[in-house]
Chain A
């Protein structure tokens, strides 16, 4: 069984500062993928960044980067230069258990609520 753990229920960061959101995972699969999604108060889940287990370099997407430490089973999200619009829930999720024909299961953590302070 796969498990995602996000130990920070809530985080505060000053505007323009960087913040790290923690995510650890557990899986017996050799091939897996890790996602980060942002969920504003409106409810929609917005894809931010993806890291495959065999990717040699850490993923980056604009102000988002993923600090992937495979041996420690961690996939922390780093947001640089925080903006007020970054205030939202952030979910770490793992892709595994390929069910064939391009479909797969996605297991989510409980999320971290980020609040950006002006």
Chain B
């Protein structure tokens, strides 16, 4: 069964360091989403891609966060520099059309 892949699963870093997360959506899924989930909360959308284009990045803290999906397939989310408040689960999801979003296993980030 096709799945959304994410790596790494866990990341521990010190504040002011740079971190990067990778996501490979289900093959054929044009839409890719990055969410941030703070402990005890529901996921919140950071950025949304349609193919290689950004559809919505209104909630992305652009001073430190960046996201790209250069070839319209896999995607990278970067944080530079990381802050203590960035500790969270980062979830990637993909969808084919207007169907449900399929989520990956997430990357759990801890900033020390």
Residues of A bordering B, CB below 8 Å: 4, 35, 37, 42-47, 50, 91, 93, 95, 98-106, 108-111
Contacts and interface: CB of A to CB of B under 8 A. Distances in A.
Given A102-B30, A106-B45, 11 more contacts: A4-B42, A37-B103, A43-B106, A45-B103, A99-B48, A99-B55, A100-B55, A101-B55, A102-B96, A102-B97, A111-B42
Interface string B28-60: 001101000000111111001010000110000
A108 B31 contact: no
Contacts of B101: 47, 106
B108 A103 contact: no
Given A99-B55, A101-B50, A102-B95, A47 B102 contact: yes
A104 B108 CA distance: 25
B72 interface: no
Interface residues of B, number: 28
Most buried by A among B33, B42, B44: B42
A102 B43 CA distance: 20
